[in-house]
């Protein structure tokens, strides 16, 4: 009935990524942890790889633990940076400025 794709994992990642407020960013590990796969940061990146094909998923708000636009290359050049700057997010040297300040932890915000 609701299998849609073969994995709900992608849906979970989509939902969580969509929940990221504008002007905020998150990390793969945080999302993976929120999904119960604390060590599935790579799996999240894989899911976001599909998410990149979905306009409803702001994957540009998701970066690695260092706040670096790891997937910038997958966005097609500086597209990811432009999207972040469009959200009032400062990007310098392919990494988020004040990442700690803009960091949005789903586990904290959703579990608080």
Partner DNA sequence: ATTATGACTTCAC
Partner DNA sequence: CGTGAAGCCATAA
Q: Which residue among 16, 25, 62, 96 contacts DNA (CB under 7 A)?
A: 62
d(CA 15, CA 48): 11
Taking the complex as a whole, the smallest distance from the CB of residue 92 to DNA amounts, in Å, to 15
Q: Which residue among 16, 51, 84, 102 contacts DNA (CB under 7 A)?
A: 51
Q: Which residue among 19, 24, 37, 83 contacts DNA (CB under 7 A)?
A: 37
**Site membership for DNA, residue 16 (CB under 7 A):** no
**Site membership for DNA, residue 106 (CB under 7 A):** no
* Phi, psi for 66 (deg, rounded to 5): -90, -5
Angle in degrees, CA 104, 57, 32, rounded to 5: 50
Taking the complex as a whole, the smallest distance from the CB of residue 45 to DNA amounts, in Å, to 3
Q: Which residue among 19, 24, 75, 87 contacts DNA (CB under 7 A)?
A: 75
d(CA 33, CA 101): 20
Closest CA to 80 of 67, 93, 94: 94
Do residues 4 and 11 lie in contact, with contact meaning Cβ atoms separated by under 8 Å? yes
State the residues that interact with DNA by CB under 7 A: 6-7, 9-10, 27-29, 37, 39-46, 48-49, 51-52, 59-60, 62, 64-66, 70-71, 73-75, 80
């Amino acid at each position: 009935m609701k299998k849609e794709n073969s994995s709900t994992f992608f849906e979970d990642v989509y939902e969580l990524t969509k929940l990221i407020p504008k002007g905020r960013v998150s990390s793969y590990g945080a999302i993976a942890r929120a999904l119960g796969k604390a060590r599935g940061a790579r799996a999240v990146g894989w899911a976001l790889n599909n998410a990149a094909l979905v306009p409803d998923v702001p994957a540009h708000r998701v970066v690695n633990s260092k706040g670096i636009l790891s997937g910038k290359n997958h966005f097609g050049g500086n597209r990811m940076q432009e999207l972040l700057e469009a959200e009032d997010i400062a990007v310098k040297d392919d990494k988020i400025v004040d990442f700690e300040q803009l960091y949005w932890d789903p586990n904290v915000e959703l579990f608080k």
